Amino acid sequence: MPDKPEQSRLLVPFGTKDWATNRIIVSRNDVGELVFECPVSHAILDIKTQQALRLNSDWYSYSERPPISELKTAEARFNFIKNHMPIYCDIWDKSQNLFLNHYFSFILQHADKNQYILKNKLKGLNSLYSYQDWLMSAYLPLPQSIIHLPQDPQNQAYENKEMFRVPLLFWTGQRAIILFFIGSDTPSPRLTNMQTKLTVNGYNVYKIEQKRLIVGDDTWMEEFLMEHFGHFWEAEVLPSGPFKPKIADPIN
């Protein structure tokens, strides 16, 4: 059984139900890398290069962001993404948004608790960076992700029958983590089969009881977040942000 998805690169539409496979165009560039065209919100998982998908990755639709002058501090950039993320969540499933509230609070508090370590990683560069700049190295959550699970990993057809919608996906560069939020009802055979298929195809599937999110099981939640997302800065050499200045951005 593989320990991660077997495709070299994977297109993941997310945060929308307004999409169809016939709107996806897959090609290859001059060096043979897969190139995707997709008109809806999406991210690319670089599985072969083990490049993690982070808040500072090139995923954001720049046309939607405010002027760079409003995003001068690391905390402002972090809070903008945190406050923007609910638009990608399923409006009928509050569990996604509840988990993200826990996740972003954990990242902020975890960085504060470890600011000595984070400042030390910036030794000699403290005049250029704040320890909070590492916030943007946190892994990017993808609500309502649509996963391509072909029989043949080399198949790039992206057919409807091989696409599966999941509540939440993270790609750490080493592991593809998928979260399901479980209520009191017995899981349907379709859901159980999909979770099994995801596991067989290299995804790490976790089932979180919805009541843990609602009643605020802080100890359990902190342990879970620490185990899977607590070392997000370790593979990063220097912090960076997702928002690059545009020509129309004011200087001040």
What DSSP string describes the chain? Answer: --SS---SEEEEE-S-S---GGG-EEEE-TTS-EEEE-SSSEEEEETTTTB--BTTSTTS-GGGSPPGGG--SHHHHHHHHHHHGGGGS-TT-HHHHHHHHHHHHHHHHHHHHTHHHHHHTTTT-TTT--GGGGGGGSBPPEEEEEEE--SSTT-----GGGEEEEEEEEE-SS-EEEEEEE-SSPPPHHHHHHHHHHHHTTEEEEEEEHHHHHHT-HHHHHHHHHHHHTTTTTT-SS---S-PPPTTS---
Identify the domain containing residue 128 by its residue range. Answer: 9-229
What is the model's pLDDT at position 216?
Answer: 67
What is the model's pLDDT at position 242?
Answer: 67
What is the model's pLDDT at position 65?
Answer: 62
Question: Which candidate, 140, 125, 148, 112, places its Cα nearest to that of 19?
Answer: 148
pLDDT beyond 50 at 97: yes
Q: How do residues 145-182 score in pLDDT, each as one tens digit?
A: 999 999 888 888 888 889 999 999 999 999 999 999 99
Q: Is residue 117 situated within a structural domain?
A: yes
pTM of the complete model: 0.90
Q: Which of 100-104, 155-159, 191-195 has the lowest mean pLDDT?
A: 155-159
How are beta strands 203-209 and 163-171 bridged, if at all? unpaired
Q: How do residues 208-249 score in pLDDT, each as one tens digit?
A: 999 999 876 688 999 999 999 999 999 998 888 766 554 444
Mean pLDDT of the chain: 88
What is the model's pLDDT at position 49?
Answer: 92
Q: Is residue 247 situated within a structural domain?
A: no
Q: Is residue 240 situated within a structural domain?
A: no
What is the model's pLDDT at position 62?
Answer: 47
Q: Which of 16-25, 80-89, 237-246 has the lowest mean pLDDT?
A: 237-246
Q: Is residue 225 situated within a structural domain?
A: yes
Q: Domains in the chain: how many in total?
A: 1
What is the model's pLDDT at position 60?
Answer: 63
Q: Is residue 235 situated within a structural domain?
A: no
Sign of the alpha-carbon torsion through 39, 152, 178, 244 = negative
Q: Is residue 245 situated within a structural domain?
A: no
Q: Is residue 4 situated within a structural domain?
A: no
Task: Decide which of 94 and 32 is more confident.
Answer: 94
What is the model's pLDDT at position 252?
Answer: 40
What is the model's pLDDT at position 61?
Answer: 59
Residue 178 and residue 205 in contact, taking contact as beta carbons nearer than 8 Å: yes
Q: How do residues 27-67 score in pLDDT, each as one tens digit?
A: 999 988 888 888 888 999 999 999 999 998 877 654 566 67
What is the model's pLDDT at position 169?
Answer: 98
Those residues whose C-beta lies under 8 Å from the C-beta of residue 246, and which sit 6 or more positions away, are 62, 68
Q: Is residue 157 situated within a structural domain?
A: yes
Q: What is the distance between the alpha carbons of residues 129 and 118, in angstroms, rounded to a whole number?
A: 10
What is the model's pLDDT at position 247?
Answer: 40
